[in-house]
Amino acid sequence: MHMELVVGAWDFGVDVVCRDAPHLVIAHGLAADATAQSACTIALTYLELAAPSLGLGTCWGGFFGAAAMFWPPLQEALALPKGHVCYGTAMVGRPKFKYHRLPARNTPKVTWA
Ligand SMILES: Cc1cc2nc3c(=O)[nH]c(=O)nc-3n(C[C@H](O)[C@H](O)[C@H](O)COP(=O)(O)O)c2cc1C
């Protein structure tokens, strides 16, 4: 996850973890529930799709999610319900930029069988 770059950016005052977002949505579910991880990913995906209609922007919180998964002090601070695991996070805020067209995308590598 290029953590050395993340830490280096932080030292220069650039927050690539939460992007200075005012809000963070945490999707969590029971570790014992085999469907919880997919449900959380689907929920955050719908959040991402719905946000612009409310004038909001989102960004997936992969770095925060990894810390919530593996770093006990953050798990303690989050105080999720017993048996729950963080399966994804999304930063939410007012977008700084307005896009007038879709950003250019690389052609996906798709193999049709
Ligand atoms: C699973 C996942 C986790 C991500 N985690 C972060 C993150 O922690 N911080 C961040 O700034 N962007 C994060 N991103 C956003 C990527 O940086 C973003 O998708 C990339 O800049 C390309 O953006 P675009 O697809 O809108 O062009 C994440 C994206 C995904 C799919």
- Tell me, in angstroms, the distance from the centre of ligand 1 to residue 11's CA: 20
- pTM value is 0.85
Residue 8 in 3-state DSSP?
helix
Regarding the beta carbon of 87 and ligand 1, being less than 6 Å apart is answered: no
Q: Considering only CA atoms, which of 46, 42, 53 is closest in space to residue 95?
A: 53
Domains detected in the chain: 15-93 (3.40.109.10)
For 28-80, the pLDDT digits (tens) are 999 999 999 999 999 999 999 999 999 999 999 999 999 999 999 999 999 99
| CA-proximal residue: ligand 1, atom 1 (nearest) | 62
How far away, in angstroms, is 113 Cα from ligand 1 center?
A: 30
d(CA 67, CA 16): 14
Find the 61 Cα to ligand 1 centroid distance in Å.
7
